Amino acid sequence: MNDADQCRDKGWKVGDRLMGDDGYGPTLVELTVIGESEISALILAHNGVALDHKQVLETLSGRTWRRLEDPLPAR
């Protein structure tokens, strides 16, 4: 399943904010494009620090993502 399919499968849409952690602190992104097979998102913050220079994220791999409105996963 590609990144765009993953977004559609989870009901995520452009404008949704996602939180994901790869072991180096949580990253907050906002989805800006959901194409046929690819996505784009602005990285808004990392490890609790807002980023002045917004970077573009082009893949959801490497982290487990959740929409901010979604409940926290069970531990």
Q: Do the domain assignments include residue 71?
A: no
Domain containing 17: what range? 3-66
pLDDT in tens, 22-66: 899 999 999 999 999 999 999 999 998 998 777 898 999 989 999
- Is 51 domain-assigned? yes
Spatial distance between the Cα atoms of 25 and 20, rounded to a whole number of angstroms: 8
Give pLDDT, residue 45.
Answer: 92
pLDDT higher than threshold 70 for residue 75: no
What is the structure's pLDDT at 28? 93
| Confidence check: pLDDT of 6 > 90 | yes
Confidence at residue 62, expressed as pLDDT on a 0 to 100 scale: 87
Number of domains in the chain: 1
Task: Report yes or no on 74 lying in a domain.
Answer: no
The 3-state secondary structure of 28-47 reads: EEEEEEECCCCEEEEEEEEC
